[in-house]
Structure 1
Amino acid sequence: MTCQCVVEGFEGTMLKNLSMHRSEALVHLLREANERKSPIERYFCSMDRLIQVLLAETRWTVYGIVIYLVVSGSLINTVAAEVHMQTYTYKQVRDLEIKANVYRQDDKKIRPVVVWIHGGALIMGGRDGINGRVKKMFLDAGYTIVSIDYRLAPETKLPAIIEDVEDAFRWIREKGPELFHIDNSRIAVLGGSAGGYLTLATGHRVKPRPTVLVAFWGYGDLIGEWYSKPSPHPRHQRSKMSEDEARKQVDGPPIANSRDRKGNGGAFYQFCRQRGIWPREVSGWNPNIEAKKYEPYMPVNNVTKEYPPTLLIHGTEDTDVPYEQSVMMADQFKKFCVDHELITIAGGEHGLAGGDPGKIDSAYEKAFQFIHERMNRR
């Protein structure tokens, strides 16, 4: 049961019992409600508009109130019940299955798709780590969401990680319409931190290019001093271990989700930041003498006028991924006349922690609007 069915049901039955004047008014108001951007907004706006007209007819007053309460409650339960998640294997490398979770309304309607790419310094994380706000916003608006795994460093190096992301998009475009009923001409990409980096990388690595990107506290540079020199920040000094201990954390077979690693990837990341060796451990290349090898994988070096519209969101006090990383990307977008915006959260740490809650809420709302507007341009 969808709100469209509810609305059509009212138009098809109750309108027969309303006066001509009230019927025309209701149809007009329902059409107005249907212009709202979110399905839930449309649903409840439709109910509000309906009750306006029903209450104007004395004989419908009590009936209208009952209908409103019953239908409103059923809509809440219906929307929640309709969300369906299924896990697919989009790629297999020897014995390793690389998977994606697909979330969508449990129907066969063709829907645009949002791809979520998790963070974790390319070392940690997995497809279940989808941003809760992003998930709710886009599911409520009727989008399908695909949250992907990819092989993790240091067991797997950067070129193969990027290859996994490229293959995930190829699978979404080729198999998505049949498997989970998407419009593969409308693909948005979102990710945070290292997922923000990979989101930006899709703008030049994935062909055809995605429709629109949103990078939360991401980065476009892999070899700057912020990553290739020892970090002075307390957040990177939380655990200390010897090199032997650190390497034992990640000495197993390739994985595509950190829950499958026997060791502690977070401790290994701390070790990398303390030593300033993250670029080398993730790629296998020494950034001081092999910088050229990184260039094909660095979004900041690969912006052209064909780059997709991009929204950047970053806190000014981020000590894990410097705010300047988003500023650098914005400068490149401006240089090449790429449709873009940079939302700055004053005082925000990594993940916007410590920023003004109202401004953070506004940033997420802007992310939705930025994507929704560009996904619906024809």
Structure 2
Amino acid sequence: MQTINYITGEETTVRASFWKSEVNVKKPTIFYIHGGGLIYGNRNDLPGPYVKLLLESGYSLFSIDYCLAPECSYSAIIQSVNDGLKFFLMNSKKIGLFNNDYILFGRSAGAYLCLQLMTENLSKKPMAFIDFYGFESLLSANLQRKNSMYASYPKVTFAEAQSMISTSPVTSSSVEERFLLYVYARQSNQWQKIIFKDTQSKEKQLSKSTLQNFPPTYMCQSSYDPDVPFINSIMLKAKLPNSKLIPINSKEHDFDREVNETNLDCYRKLISWLDAVTEH
């Protein structure tokens, strides 16, 4: 694994991790964006056994950090993700890749950021999109209501939440460092307010023409997801001309957090689908 730095916004340094596959140099690279509600998380959260499966199947992996709320505005978050993709597209040869063909892969809020990327006028479009338990809009009505799972957790106070906020931009964190800040956001019903504190910053909607020309999409989510309602994936799939939705029989949001044979098989099936849709 190689660590790469790129610059975004007001000279903020953001890091990426790059794993190069030696199996099939002509396959597209997976451009991965982690989850964490845009508040916590880091580029190395994809469990190693899944990374190993991807590499052994010929898919290199380029995984980015990005600016996080509330230290960074929504526009800065989106800009950092855009800058990460631009860096990859412009420097693929320098890091040893045969080409800059790529597949977007996001888990949870990372999938949301992938969708926001695709509202942009990208210089090169992805060959495919992988959406693991993501959501189309932060402003979905069912994401703005109080969440019963987070309401059942021990209450995180305003003072506890404030103690986790830095005075400088944050681009990476562990679950231990910031997860309770996200819990506070969901318990207090302040999630959207924390993300969109800059009223000049608004998420973009996928246009009809963008949806009509969307890349092949593989969606995977727990049918009993307690965090992001499964209906959100059903509604997104209905808009996409070439998409596949795989329901998982689990009550976990990030069902693949635990590496077991069932979840490894889920990634094997994903790879088989990728092989089929990205063949030249």
Query: What interval of TM-score do these two structures reach, taking the shorter chain for normalisation?
Result: 0.7 to 0.9
Alpha-carbon contact 1:116-1:130 (below 8 Å) kept: no
Alpha-carbon contact 1:154-1:281 (below 8 Å) kept: yes
Structure-2-length-normalised TM-score: 0.87
- Percent identity over the alignment is 25
> Where does 1:157-236 land on structure 2 (aligned, <5 Å)?
157-184=73-100, 186-205=101-120, 207=122, 208-233=124-149, 235-236=150-151
Number of residue pairs aligned between Structure 1 and Structure 2: 278
**Rounded Cα–Cα distance in structure 2 between residues aligned with 1:105 and 1:304:** 31
Alpha-carbon contact 2:4-2:15 (below 8 Å) kept: yes
**SS of structure 1 residue aligned to 2:29:** strand
CA distance 1:139–1:301, change in 2 (3 Å)? same
| 1:178 positional shift | 2.2
Alpha-carbon contact 1:227-1:273 (below 8 Å) kept: no
Give the RMSD, CA atoms, in angstroms: 2.9
**Rounded Cα–Cα distance in structure 1 between residues aligned with 2:81 and 2:257:** 31
Matched with 1:374 is 277
Alpha-carbon contact 2:25-2:58 (below 8 Å) kept: no
Alpha-carbon contact 1:86-1:101 (below 8 Å) kept: yes
Per-residue CA deviations over 1:300-345 (Å, capped at 9, x if unaligned) read 9885211111111011111111111111110111xxxx21111111
Matched with 2:229 is 322
Alpha-carbon contact 1:190-1:215 (below 8 Å) kept: yes
| 1:201 positional shift | 2.7
**Rounded Cα–Cα distance in structure 2 between residues aligned with 1:174 and 1:197:** 23
**Rounded Cα–Cα distance in structure 2 between residues aligned with 1:276 and 1:115:** 31
Of 194, 197, 206 in structure 2, the residue corresponding to residue 281 of structure 1 is: 194
Residue type of the alignment partner of 2:230 = Y
Alpha-carbon contact 1:213-1:310 (below 8 Å) kept: yes
CA distance 1:133–1:283, change in 2 (3 Å)? farther
Higher relative contact order, chain-length normalized (CA < 8 Å, sep 6+):
2
Structure (1 or 2) with the greater helix fraction = 1
Matched with 1:76 is none
Residue type of the alignment partner of 2:116 = A
| 1:196 positional shift | 1.9
Structure-1-length-normalised TM-score: 0.66
Per-residue CA deviations over 1:256-305 (Å, capped at 9, x if unaligned) read 1115x9x942111111111111111012167xxx9xx6441x55988521
**Rounded Cα–Cα distance in structure 1 between residues aligned with 2:25 and 2:256:** 37
CA distance 1:91–1:209, change in 2 (3 Å)? same
**Rounded Cα–Cα distance in structure 1 between residues aligned with 2:162 and 2:223:** 33
**Rounded Cα–Cα distance in structure 1 between residues aligned with 2:62 and 2:121:** 16
**Rounded Cα–Cα distance in structure 2 between residues aligned with 1:125 and 1:354:** 13
CA distance 1:155–1:307, change in 2 (3 Å)? same
**Rounded Cα–Cα distance in structure 2 between residues aligned with 1:202 and 1:240:** 34
CA distance 1:343–1:106, change in 2 (3 Å)? closer
Matched with 2:56 is 140
